[in-house]
A and B are shown apart, each in its own frame.
Chain A
């Protein structure tokens, strides 16, 4: 009896998870992108500006630009991961190498990370859709696959 409930519950959760997963890419829901961008600007000024600069231009050879960056515009998962975990790998970004290590910013909330990335994706000449709290959460605490 108990076992059945557990199984049913697991299956239901699994089903909900599948629904959530299949629904997510279809349409992103953000409460209010303009509000998110405004909050994100404040986060940017506090956490990002010193290295990535006032215009999102970065510092040549040291800190990569966010303006026009392929990863910023096209790879939400990667940039969420970089904000959460920092970056110390020596890998080229848009064919250039950058020397400074980026610190982990995992102390920011999912909301703050969604906001700041939404701001970055809609500033400095960038134009891309919002990053949602759910997307940040999915990268921070990935669901374990059985």
Chain B
């Protein structure tokens, strides 16, 4: 009865939103996006595979990694050929889909869901030999869940790789209602964290890397912050508090908890997955129900606190610290976060599908976050995840300071610029 009522309310709210807003965002203005005053957007490219992360060279060569190979190619090279802002695919290579892509010190780095590769660039930042990359890291865990390998590089020759946990909450039986957690969690020896490797050494395996940070369920969005000289990551928080533990959580709590957390990592950081989850409303780490928690018992104090936490299940897939000069001063050194959009908020409507801005000062968030670009889904209310037209995933800063956002649903690449008008 309660659930039926909730469903009815959900639908009613959806209907009201649709009526009030004419149903959808206006797709003719700013490529369908809703932006702060003074910003404009265009679709710089469309149908670029399942565009995940994106990297741009200083002279405007764009590299986009697709989750899936399209006609046998998964790394796309794009360029603005006529100064219109539109990007044209000028090359493509690599038949293994993946997520990670980065440019550092004359090399392009890409990742499949198992390995990390690098390609030497020429003085125009073009890949010299697309068919013969060096395999930098190999044999990483790839077991269905959370298998994408995001990458970031520091300034002293290291590369950081996310190895996601192949589990929701390290239960004896993954995602099974009431199944207990395994303590110690055996997944953490080879996944559920960030591993550090050398950026220039071939065929590294687990034995060659170090587990830089642990207790992280899955990271997709990560970035090296040049101001603090440290790695920042956005965790995908655990699912199914309500579905697996209905005795402790109602469906609203299950939809809104846990917080999607931003962490600044250092060697040895432990963020507590699977033993704790973060309640962003109480600003507290809570003991996970798989390990004896009930939604009220606090979790281990020894685990690192997030810098900021967002509502549950929004799925942060891209993180970028803005260092450009084009946007107004408040954006300098702040963080943009691309939220892919949720699935685990039903029976409430799904949420996310937007890019958020978090202002920073001296390497710390200064205030609350704000939605920067909205409307990717094309709808005011998304009831089912597949109803979202576009899903934000990767972020990059162009040479002119524009912000680029990828969409892995339809392969759209958005360019967002500040005009002040």
Q: Decide if B177 is an interface residue (CB 8 Å cutoff).
A: yes
Known: A50-B243, A53-B384, A99-B144. A104 touches B343 (CB 8 A): no
Give the secondary structure class of A's interface.
loop
CB of B402 within 8 Å of the partner chain: no
> Distance in Å from the Cβ of B176 to the closest Cβ of chain A?
4
CB distance from B53 to the nearest CB of A (A): 15
Is A93 among interface residues, defined by CB-CB distance under 8 A?
no
- Whether A86 and B176, one on each chain, are in contact in the complex, defined by CB atoms closer than 8 angstroms, is yes
Contacting A at CB under 8 A, from B153-170, are 167-168
Question: Is the Cβ of B347 less than 8 Å from the Cβ of A101?
Answer: no
How close is B249's CB to chain A, nearest CB, in angstroms?
12
Report chain B residues within 8 Å CB of A50. Answer: 240, 242-243, 343-344, 346
Instruction: Indicate the size class of the contact surface on chain B.
Output: 20 to 34
Check A81 for interface membership: any CB of B closer than 8 A: no
Contacts of B77 in A (CB 8 A): none
B-contact 0/1 string along A57-70, CB 8 Å cutoff: 11111110100000
Is there a chain A Cβ closer than 8 Å to B145's Cβ? yes
B320 within 8 A of A: no
A-facing residues in B368-405 (Cβ within 8 Å): 383-387
* Contact A62 B176, beta carbon cutoff 8 Å: no
The one of A57, A90, A103 in contact with B144, judged by C-beta atoms closer than 8 angstroms, is A90
Q: What band does the interface of chain A fall in when counting residues whose beta carbon is under 8 Å from B? A: 20 to 34
A73 within 8 A of B: no
Q: How far is the CB of A87 from chain B (nearest CB, A)?
A: 10
Q: How far is the CA of A51 from the CA of B313 in the complex (A)?
A: 12
Could you tell me the distance in whole angstroms from the C-beta of B292 to the nearest C-beta in chain A?
20
- Of all A-B residue pairs in the complex, the 8 with the closest CB atoms, nearest first, are A53-B384, A59-B343, A103-B176, A103-B175, A57-B386, A55-B384, A101-B174, A59-B385
Given A50-B346, A99-B144, A107-B177, 20 other A-B residues pairs in contact with their CB atoms under 8 A: A45-B3, A50-B343, A53-B346, A53-B385, A54-B346, A54-B384, A55-B384, A58-B386, A59-B385, A65-B386, A86-B173, A86-B176, A88-B144, A99-B145, A99-B147, A100-B175, A101-B144, A101-B167, A101-B174, A103-B173
16 contacts between A and B (CB under 8 A): A45-B7, A50-B240, A50-B243, A51-B343, A53-B346, A53-B384, A54-B384, A55-B383, A57-B385, A57-B386, A58-B386, A59-B343, A99-B144, A100-B175, A101-B175, A104-B176
